[in-house]
């Protein structure tokens, strides 16, 4: 029976591939770049209509104005006793920049030399199109599933806007989740990322003419430049980053993956004043066996010790603001890490489905990037990343996706849906 299903899936995907390409062309034609974002209403309406036409219940709500999430649910015939599945993908794409650098149309799908080109083909409208096509084939092939299947088309991943977190907050869950972001069809977990602001603010404001009388100039006024004091904090962060490189490790990551990047610095008010405020925006990468709470606590503890060694900073303490639900609205983001269980039955089943279709064993490891998968894992849902597309294609000029990779992924996805949602709890 299972071999017959596999053969029917392979035949249906191969014979229907032009329909898959048209689905992808439709999705690429919506310019859902983020930033600026607030532009996904039309594509999400397209997806909701597609899901409803294929007999899924849908739910849609605005995460931000004109940026709605869409969730579609295909009810299994025995959801109480059989496993449920989330398939999650983001519908926003990376900003384009100078379009004159592209040799193909940015938002019109182009097929050539065994690839499909266009913004989002690899990251990750190709995988979303494959998911939608798989849903349609489930219906057309009369493939019964006993467990519930949930499709999440989310916004905001490119700008850390936590569309997936919004699904979790709305109560959506399942026995397993598959984030179909680009992993070159390898099964991945991931490290985490959090951004934060460190602020130094003087209690007093001084004219530039007072500099000669300040502490660092041997004068009598207990004043200092917030910009110059931030230099000590940056040096402290560099010390901590080097310490992490030799004291922390995790399988699948190169030494030194835990980085602290001083990404943006802002400060001062005018050339005629001593800088009374300085703000540093940092990006922190951490391992799957850490949380963003534990990592930010480490950073604060270390920097507070640095500050205690400085007489002025002792009286003008550091201020911290961590994370946020939007790089656009809050200038802050969080991507929780995903600690993957390679022995989980669903992961083993996905690996088996991959091998059935690809005729080669799947690679299981850790992503060099971050996705929304960490939010699902943090919610207690066993989750992995598995999707078509190479990391180097994401955000690139002339972004492209290998056609055979897209077709193989579609077949594996459909086979996995059939097998997992027909597996008893």
Question: Catalytic residue numbers?
Answer: 92, 157
Task: Answer whether 250's CB lies under 8 Å from 244's CB.
Answer: no
C-alpha–C-alpha distance, residues 73 and 173, integer Å: 11
Residue in this structure with the two tokens 């999400």, named with its chain if needed: 44
C-alpha–C-alpha distance, residues 49 and 311, integer Å: 63
C-alpha–C-alpha distance, residues 214 and 207, integer Å: 11
Apex 286 CA angle, 279 and 343, nearest 5: 155
| Distance linking the first and last C-alpha atoms of the chain | 21
What tokens appear for 279 in the block? Answer: 């703000």
Helices 17-29 & 126-140 angle (0-180, nearest 10): 140
What tokens appear for 356 in the block? Answer: 């059935």
Task: Answer whether 38's CB lies under 8 Å from 147's CB.
Answer: no
The DSSP string of 263-278 is EEEEE-S-TTB---EE
Three-class secondary structure of residue 415 per DSSP: helix
C-alpha–C-alpha distance, residues 360 and 263, integer Å: 41
């Amino acid at each position: 029976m299972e071999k017959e299903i596999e053969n029917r899936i392979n035949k249906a995907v191969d014979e229907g591939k032009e329909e898959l390409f048209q689905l992808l062309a439709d999705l690429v034609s919506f310019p859902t770049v983020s930033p600026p974002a607030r532009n996904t209403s039309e594509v999400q309406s397209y997806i909701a209509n597609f899901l409803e036409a294929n007999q899924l219940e849908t739910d849609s709500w605005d995460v931000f104005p004109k940026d709605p999430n869409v969730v579609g649910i295909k009810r299994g015939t025995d959801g109480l006793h059989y496993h449920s599945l989330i398939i999650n993908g983001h519908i926003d794409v990376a900003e384009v920049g100078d379009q004159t650098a592209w040799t193909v149309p940015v938002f019109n799908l182009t097929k050539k030399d065994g690839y499909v080109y266009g913004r989002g083909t690899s990251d990750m409208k190709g995988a979303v199109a494959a998911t939608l096509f798989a849903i349609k084939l489930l219906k057309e092939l009369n493939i019964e599933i006993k467990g519930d299947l949930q499709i999440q088309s989310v916004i905001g991943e490119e700008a850390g806007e936590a569309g997936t977190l919004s699904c979790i907050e709305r109560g959506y869950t399942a026995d397993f989740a598959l984030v179909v972001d680009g992993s070159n069809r390898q099964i991945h977990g991931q490290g985490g990322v959090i951004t934060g602001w460190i602020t130094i603010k003087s209690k007093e404001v001084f004219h530039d003419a007072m500099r000669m009388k300040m502490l660092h100039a041997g004068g009598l006024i207990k004043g200092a430049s917030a910009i110059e004091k931030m230099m000590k904090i940056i040096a402290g962060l560099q010390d901590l980053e080097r310490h992490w490189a030799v004291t922390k490790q995790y399988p699948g990551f190169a030494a030194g993956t835990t980085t602290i990047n001083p990404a943006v610095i802002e400060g001062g008010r005018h050339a005629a004043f001593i800088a009374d405020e300085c703000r540093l925006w940092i990006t922190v990468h951490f391992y799957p066996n850490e949380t963003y709470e534990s990592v930010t606590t480490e950073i604060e503890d270390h920097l507070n010790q640095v500050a205690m060694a400085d007489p002025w900073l002792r009286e003008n303490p550091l201020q911290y603001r961590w994370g946020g639900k939007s790089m656009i609205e809050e200038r802050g983001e969080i991507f929780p890490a995903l600690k993957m269980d390679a022995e989980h039955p669903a992961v083993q089943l996905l690996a088996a489905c991959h091998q059935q279709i690809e005729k080669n064993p799947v690679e299981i490891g850790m992503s060099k990037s971050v996705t929304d998968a960490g939010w699902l894992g943090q919610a207690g849902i066993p989750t992995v990343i598995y999707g078509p597309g190479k990391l180097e294609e994401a955000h690139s000029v002339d972004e492209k996706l290998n056609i055979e990779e897209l077709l193989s992924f579609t077949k594996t996805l459909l086979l996995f849906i059939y097998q997992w949602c027909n597996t008893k709890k």
